[in-house]
Structure 1
């Protein structure tokens, strides 16, 4: 039984990796067709340099796009036909809890967080790379301010049980989250639109072409997300599974800035997938109503 379970998990992992690799290829085709710049980043960049593909224990693919190209992609997606793929953005899906976008496979079904009722498909993450202040300390203050807005968006998007909601009162540090979730119960859509407009304004404070520094406001590496734009350059191609992907031209500076000695494998106990899967069906696209009904009755597909 254990061997069969291990085989099932391996099959799911292989199917998952093949699917997200196909999504990446579709994304690259879109970028080539419309002359859009992008770079693989974070663990995907490590995978390209160290493993020449997806890190064996990784479960996603991440890319960054300069803000002008990112904005063009969103405009293109409003009218373009991407076939079996769709661009999920905070502007076209009210249940979507994030500010960055995802290119998603419309033939699959995924819910990552049981408390956030957002039904999409398997995906590639697309992070906007925003121009920021030339003064690094000012750039970091902008990052801190932006992170507070992201946390509010998360609070508005999360549908906690009543018990979890009330327990927020037990910790004074969570009182702000309790207040915004209370208000969001009545005005969720309006608050969500207001927070997204705030992030839009901050993302367009500076001219990308003139900026010395850039940052991924929506990234998860804190102040390390602020770095010199000159590291990006025209990009450098690396083998990635059966294709090639661009990394920042100064990829070594970029990766050491984030991860130190990135060629060193992490301890075995840290070689784990990062993302949760509250609901997964890699064989078909299901409606939100059907997924919510199955999740409520705990009929979770694997």
Structure 2
């Protein structure tokens, strides 16, 4: 695991801000709606920038704007930037997208051979069922499919793979990894179609409730759409950024009293980085050699 030291943090933040600026430029030029999400929203309100111990930027976009954004990026030369999605990046098992810099490198997990550049995360926000029980059922169903995508994307040593057979609760994972070994591409496309079907089941415009299916807060990811209708600007490290108009309802739903600093022992990043390079793109075989030498 590589550590982002205080000495490296200013350079890291500068690269992320550059990507964020490019994202905002594309959105403003094409009348696309986005909102700062999670810790990025808290950072804008509480710190006017990065939470000091945070090391990423998260945004979300209503599904119609998200789809337009993906289409625009696919149709144009982004120069030093690139958009990584589950549709165009091998072994990328997340359902959301990352706007990255081509001249940098990150490999987040040792068990997942997926390399891209430093990034901001872009999450689609979908409409969901008016009935909350049905909305939560769809969220749980999506998470199960997402877990299968992760299972076929990770790589185990043979001994670890066979050890799954000794744990009955892991037999399903063993089966999925076996299918993934023999037909990873086809099974991956199958899972993506199933996730798409859930996400597009309820139109965003007509929905009362919305959901970030790929979000990690489980049931909390479902909430009233009225909380995010309209935007309000805040400053983030000198950039003018957009938050939902009812950002207080949105943030209290997820985090409670978000203006209260957490205990010192919790003030740390929770994002894995087995390798990163802020100056150049390094290929997968080289990274794997470097990891083995540690």
Aligned to 1:3: none
Deviation of the 1:78 alpha carbon: 1.3
In the alignment, which of 85, 88, 113 is matched to residue 81 of structure 2?
85
Match in the other structure for 1:209: 205
Partner of 2:51: 55
Of the candidates 172, 179, 193, which is equivalent to residue 176 of structure 1?
Answer: 172
* TM-score between both structures, scaled by the size of structure 1: 0.94
Shift of 1:168: 2.1
Matched, 1:99 2:85: no
Spell out the pairing of 1:136-151 with structure 2 (5 A cutoff): 136-151=132-147
- What per-residue deviation string (whole Å, max 9, x for no partner) do you get for residues 30-59 of structure 1? 111111110001111111111111101111
Alpha-carbon distance in 2 for matches of 1:168, 1:260 = 39
State the Cα distance separating 1:276 from its structure 2 match.
1.1
Moved segments of 4+, more than 4 Å:
none
RMSD, aligned α-carbons: 1.4
Q: With structure 2 as the length reference, what TM-score do the two structures score?
A: 0.96
- Select between 11-20 and 124-133 the one with higher mean Cα deviation: 11-20
Deviation per residue, 1:156-193 (Å, 9 max, x gap): 10001223222322332211111101111111111111
Partner residue, 2:265:
269
C-alpha distance in 2, partners of 1:32/1:290?
Answer: 38
Stretches of structure 2 that go unaligned for 5 or more consecutive residues are none
1:264 Cα offset (Å): 1.0
After TM superposition, the structure 1 stretch with the greater mean CA deviation from structure 2, 108-117 or 170-179, is 170-179
Q: Partners in 2 of 1:142 and 1:122 — Cα distance?
A: 31
Instruction: Indicate the residue corresponding to 2:290 in structure 1.
Output: 294
Shift of 1:215: 0.2
CA contact (8 A) 2:19 2:101 kept: yes
Deviations 1:80-124 (A, max 9, x none): 122211100011112212111000011101100011000101100
Q: Secondary structure at the match of 2:90?
A: coil
What is the count of residue pairs matched by the alignment?
292
1:34 aligns with 2:27: no
